[in-house]
Amino acid sequence: GENVEQHPSTLSVQEGDSAVIKCTYSDSASNYFPWYKQELGKRPQLIIDIRSNVGEKKDQRIAVTLNKTAKHFSLHITETQPEDSAVYFCAASDPGGTSYGKLTFGQGTILTVHP
Amino acid sequence: DSGVTQTPKHLITATGQRVTLRCSPRSGDLSVYWYQQSLDQGLQFLIQYYNGEERAKGNILERFSAQQFPDLHSELNLSSLELGDSALYFCASSAEGSHDEQFFGPGTRLTVL
pLDDT value, residue B2: 82
* pLDDT one-digit tens code per residue, A66-104: 999 999 999 999 999 999 999 999 999 875 565 567 889
Number of H helices, E strands in chain A: 0, 11
The answer to whether the beta carbons of residues A13 and A19 sit under 8 Å apart is yes
- Report the pLDDT value the prediction gives residue A31, as an integer from 0 to 100: 86
Nearest residue of A to residue B38, measured between CA atoms: A107
Phi, psi of A75 (to 5 degrees): -110, 130
DSSP state of A93: B
- For chains A and B, what is the number of CB pairs under 8 angstroms? 66
Whether residues B105 and A43 touch (CB distance < 8 A) is answered with: yes
**Interval B18-57: pLDDT, tens:** 999 999 999 989 999 999 999 777 899 999 999 999 988 8
The fraction of chain B above a pLDDT of 70, given in percent, is 97
Contact A36 B105 (CB under 8 A): no
**Using an 8 Å Cβ cutoff, are A98 and A36 in contact?**
no
> What pLDDT score was predicted for residue B39?
79
Q: Which residues contact A60 (CB under 8 A, 6 or more apart)?
A: none
> Does the pLDDT of residue B108 top 60, yes or no?
yes
Spatial contact of B109 and B95, defined as CB atoms under 8 Å apart: no
Nearest to B42 among A42, A96, A108 (CB): A108
Condensed to tens digits (0 to 9), the pLDDT of residues A28-63 reads: 888 889 999 999 889 999 999 998 777 899 999 999
pLDDT at position B99 is 60
A97 touches chain B (CB under 8 A): no
pLDDT of residue B40: 72
Rounded to whole angstroms, the Cα distance separating B90 from A43 reads: 8
A95 to B99: CB separation less than 8 angstroms, yes or no: yes
| Segments of B1-113 assigned E as strands | 5-7, 10-13, 19-24, 31-38, 42-50, 53-57, 64-68, 74-78, 87-94, 103-104, 108-112
Instruction: Give me the half-sphere count of Cα atoms (radius 13 Å) on the Cβ side of residue A114.
Output: 4
Average pLDDT taken over every residue of chain B: 92
| B44, B55, B90 member nearest A100 (Cβ) | B55
What is the model's pLDDT at position B59?
A: 82
State the smallest CA–CA distance between residue B18 and chain A in angstroms: 24
What's the confidence (pLDDT) of residue A19? 98
Banded model confidence at residue B1, pLDDT cuts 50, 70, 90: confident
In angstroms, the separation between the Cα of residue B24 and the nearest Cα of chain A is 15
Out of A49, A100, A102, closest to residue B101 by CB: A49
